[in-house]
Amino acid sequence: MTAMVTPFDQSGDVNYAVAEALAAHLVAHGTDTLVICGTTGESPTLSWDEEYQLFNVVKQTVAGNAKVVAGTGSNSTQEAIAATQKAEKLGLDGSLQVVPYYNKPPQEGLYRHFKAIAEATPDLPMILYNIPGRTGQNLAPETIARLAAVPNIVAVKEASGSLDQVSQVRRSTPPDFGIYSGDDSLTLPMLSVGGQGVISVASHLVGDSLQQMIQAFEQGHVQIATQIHLKLLPLFKALFITTNPIPVKAALRLQGWQVGGLRLPLNDESAVAEPQLKAAMAELGLLQPL
């Protein structure tokens, strides 16, 4: 899955035409599912109306060729329910629900939050999103296990950075419960302890290679998967040299994509990111014009 950036025009408005073109490009280059309005999509600074229009535009663009998952999480349960119900009516394929941020609910509160959203949209698959570095709260493996019993909670995006946590989640959830890496550099290690894929930033640039790596691992060609992982590692690191999505937007601009800048409070730190990005991209042959 690709956690797609949100392109902006020179006025700072969402550039839906570029979003269409980028979505089609990603699906043509290794992406099975597009995750719209997640962290990489700058969801905290998008209005709900902008998000709904993005969901609709991308869904129409990739219809029949890829799935679309909507980032409709919130630290307000009622707001998340309303947004997810609207996404369900748009005919999307699933929702991504981030751990509530700032208010730091205890584990029982987290359980009730996600369960309430799932029960309000019973026909829409849900992916939990655990990223404690941004939310201030870890979704414990025991809580994930409880939530996995809810019929339409089907997976977790694990961005805790802990392989031990991933292993504990795998031990305590059914085999068909999906575990997706939230960190490109940990995708291959997570596959080795029961993960099944990645919700990726790097796939904006190397989606085909990530597909090859995951398929090689699944087919038992572990050495080939490792070679691909090690080849891509400098790019994985460069894309997180400063706050995501600052580097990936800089990388896309280096390739000629008109994705625009960022919305405050994020600021453009291309001067910080570009030297390492250019080196990593040049090594992979990614600086040629599209």
Contact residues for 78 (Cβ-Cβ < 8 A; gap 6+): none
Catalytic: 129? yes
Q: How far apart are CA 279 and CA 195, in angstroms?
A: 30
CB atoms within 10 A of CB 151: 12
**Phi-psi map region of 38: left, alpha, beta (phi>0 left; psi -120 to 50 alpha):** beta
Identify whether the C-beta of residue 72 lies closer than 8 Å to the C-beta of residue 46. Answer: no
Q: How far apart are CA 263 and CA 21, in angstroms?
A: 21
Preceding peptide of 234 cis, ω within 30°: no
* Angle separating helix axes 16-28 and 203-218, nearest 10 degrees: 30
Pairing of strands 126-130, 94-98: parallel
Q: Which of 77, 80, 89 is nearest to 37 (CA)?
A: 80
Up-side HSE of residue 242: CA atoms within 13 Å toward CB?
Answer: 18
Q: How far apart are CA 161 and CA 287, in angstroms?
A: 30
In the set 129, 180, 231, 237, the catalytic residue is: 129
Catalytic: 157? yes
In the set 52, 157, 180, 249, the catalytic residue is: 157
Q: How far apart are CA 75 and CA 108, in angstroms?
A: 15
Query: Which structure tokens are listed for 124?
Result: 């829409």
Question: Which residues are tagged catalytic?
Answer: 129, 157
